[in-house]
Amino acid sequence: MSTKQKHNTNPFEMALKQVDLAARHMDLEPGLVARLKSPEKEVIAHFPARMSDGQLKIFTGYRVQHNDTRGPYKGGLRYHPLTDLDEVRALAMWMTWKSAVVNIPFGGAKGGIQCNPKEMSSTEIESMTRRFTYEISSIIGPDLDIPAPDVYTNPQVMAWIMDTYSIIQGRTVGGVVTGKPLELGGSLGRFEATGKGVFITALEAVKSKGLQMEGQKVAIQGSGNVGGVAARYFAQAGCKVVALSDSKGGVYNPGGLDVEHALACKNKYACVMGPEIEGEEINNEQLLTLDCDILVPSALEGVITKHNASQIQAGIIAEGANGPTTPGADAILEDKGVLIVPDILANAGGVTVSYFEWVQNLQNLLWSEKEIDSRLTGILQKSFAEVRKTSQQKKVGMRVAALILGIDRVVSAMKLRGIYP
Ligand code: NAD
């Protein structure tokens, strides 16, 4: 049973509560707050795809476009059995604030299909992806809404979306998605961007406490595009990655895991706890409360709750995942003095390099890895400093500070555009 099911965490309720918490420190008219809380458009598609056994299967997919005041809607596409409209709404809203926190000219959107890709063949995933792309083809596009990878989607899925959309348009449209394979106009550094951004912002947090990254004990939940990549950066910086997990459970070694070996096990056995791993088997709940300095939840939302927050030992939480911490847990962690690098800052490296990919596609340019790296680092360091300054000025935690910063940028843009008619 997932944490979301167990504690009945509704991510959209969490996201709405966060807006209220930030709005307390902002001078916003109630109608504007109501507008910020409402997604602008929502598409729910029930659509067929043919399975390998010849049967037709009906899938339900969502695309929620929360806000495009500052630029085209932007956000990932998730394939997961438990995804639903409220989850996608929350993720779309967080994308709006995230794009604004790092000050890139995008709005926020998110998509999801209720499915279990682990039980589907590649051909079945392709059929489902192509048909869903058709269903949302009138509402996506390089200057309209640009999907990207999220949980259990990857560059290949982006290639199928790009191909289907391009066929519908009668021309190749690379900029309709980001996170594409390099051969199709993907950007150097996009695959690593989110995990690397988690590391860069965690490093800023460590420095802000007057500490050194080397020797920090790090526990990471999730070992996919975000958690797995982040683990490599922490290990390269001389941290002890004491725990790593995936959907099946995790592994703990207080002396530090061999990260490359654990990720190789994940590739070989589809689970980090491979037979050759030196460490103790743990579950995903135990991972969160281990003895560590930096906790990096990088799987799903709603895992740090009021039920386990008081047992968390880490002094820093760098949120690789979107929405891993509930507002109830936030209050407890703040009382304990835990420094949270919130999701809309910590994992914003992904959307930042997606922006670089989109800019390169629109201009038919190819930036070097060095160029991308220095721009990404610069944007994230600046954003961290801005959030920290807001946190100090307003005397609020880093999450509320990031929300204030992001929401304020969206509100300023809304006010300038005015209300039509
Ligand atoms: P992914 O599919 O690459 O990896 C997901 C990882 O989480 C896998 O290791 C999987 O085994 C693990 N997992 C799944 N269910 C779990 C569970 N119940 N408990 C513990 N682990 C579980 O996905 P990702 O791209 O790494 O995304 C992870 C998180 O990061 C999500 O919250 C996503 O929204 C967020 N995020 C991703 C990106 C991106 O660029 N990919 C950007 C910003 C935020």
Q: Which tens digit of pLDDT belongs to each residue from 145-165?
A: 999 999 999 999 999 999 999
Q: Are residues 148 and 271 in the same domain?
A: no
- The tokens describing 167, both together, are 């066929």
Taking only the tens place, the pLDDT of each residue in 271-302 is 998 888 889 999 999 999 999 999 999 999 99
67-73: average pLDDT = 98
Does residue 23 lie within any of the structural domains? Answer: no
Would you say how long the chain is, in residues? Answer: 421
Ligand 1 pocket check for 297: Cβ under 6 Å: no
Arithmetic mean of pLDDT, 94-101: 99
**Of 386, 375, 378, residue with least CA distance to 190:** 375
One domain, residues 131 and 45:
yes
Same domain, 323 and 246: yes
The radius of gyration of the chain from alpha carbons, rounded to an integer in Å, stands at: 20
| Ligand 1 center from residue 129 Cα (angstroms) | 19
Q: Give 361-419 pLDDT, tens digit per residue.
A: 999 999 999 999 999 999 999 999 999 999 999 999 999 999 999 999 999 999 999 99
Residue 100 lies in a domain: yes
Burial 72-105 (b: 16+ CB within 10 A, else e): bbbbbbbbbeebbbbbbbbbbbbbbbbbbbbebe
Please check whether residue 358 lies inside any domain of the structure: no
Domain-located, residue 181: no
- What would the pLDDT profile of 310-330 be if each residue is shown by its tens digit? 999 999 999 999 999 999 999
Name the token pair of 371: 């160029």
**Given 150, 176, 202, which residue is the final one in a domain?**
176
Q: Percentage of the chain with pLDDT > 70?
A: 98
| Residue 58 covered by a domain | yes
Nearest atom (ligand 1) to Cα of 152: 2
Q: Give domain status of residue 31, yes or no.
A: no
Task: Name the domain boundary from 341, 361, 388.
Answer: 341
CATH label of the domain that carries residue 155: 3.40.50.10860
Task: State the chain's mean pLDDT as an integer.
Answer: 97
Cβ–ligand 1 distance for 79 under 6 Å, the answer no
| 115 & 216 share domain | no
Closest Cα to atom 23, ligand 1: which residue? Answer: 151
Q: Is residue 178 lining ligand 1, measured as CB closer than 6 Å?
A: no
Are residues 45 and 119 located together in one domain of the fold?
yes
**Do 172 and 197 reside in the same domain of the chain?**
no
Q: Does residue 79 contact residue 112 with C-beta atoms inside 8 Å? A: yes
Positions marked catalytic: 110
151 and 282 part of one domain: no
Cα(176) to ligand 1 centroid in Å equals 22
List, as own/partner pairs, every contact residues 262-267 make where C-beta atoms lie below 8 angstroms and the sequence separation is at least 24, other chains included: 262/223, 262/231, 263/223, 263/228, 263/231, 263/232, 266/223, 266/228
Rounded Cα–Cα distance for residues 381 and 345 (Å): 10
With a pLDDT cut of 90, the percent of the chain lying above it is 95
Instruction: Say if residue 223 is in the same domain as residue 315.
Output: yes
Q: How many domains does the chain have?
A: 2
Whole-model pTM: value is 0.98
- Are 210 and 330 members of one domain? yes
Q: Which domain CATH number covers 305?
A: 3.40.50.720
Q: How confident is the model at residue 6 (pLDDT cuts 50, 70, 90)?
A: low
Q: Are residues 166 and 216 in the same domain?
A: no
| Cβ(349) – ligand 1 distance below 6 Å | no
Q: Which of 115, 143, 176 is the last residue of a domain?
A: 176
Confidence tier at 1 by pLDDT (50, 70, 90): very low
130, part of any domain: yes
| 206 part of a folded domain | yes
Nearest residue (CA) to ligand 1, atom 22: 247
Q: How far apart are CA 114 and CA 46, in angstroms?
A: 10
155 φ, ψ (degrees, to nearest 5): -55, -35
Question: Does the structure show a pLDDT above 80 at 247?
Answer: yes
**Do 197 and 328 sit in the same domain of this protein?**
yes
Residue range of the domain that includes 337: 193-341
Ligand 1 centre and the CA of 29: distance in Å? 36
CB 391 near ligand 1, within 6 Å: no
Cβ(246) – ligand 1 distance below 6 Å: yes
Shared domain check, 77 and 160: yes
C-alpha to C-alpha distance for 406 and 344, rounded to whole angstroms: 9
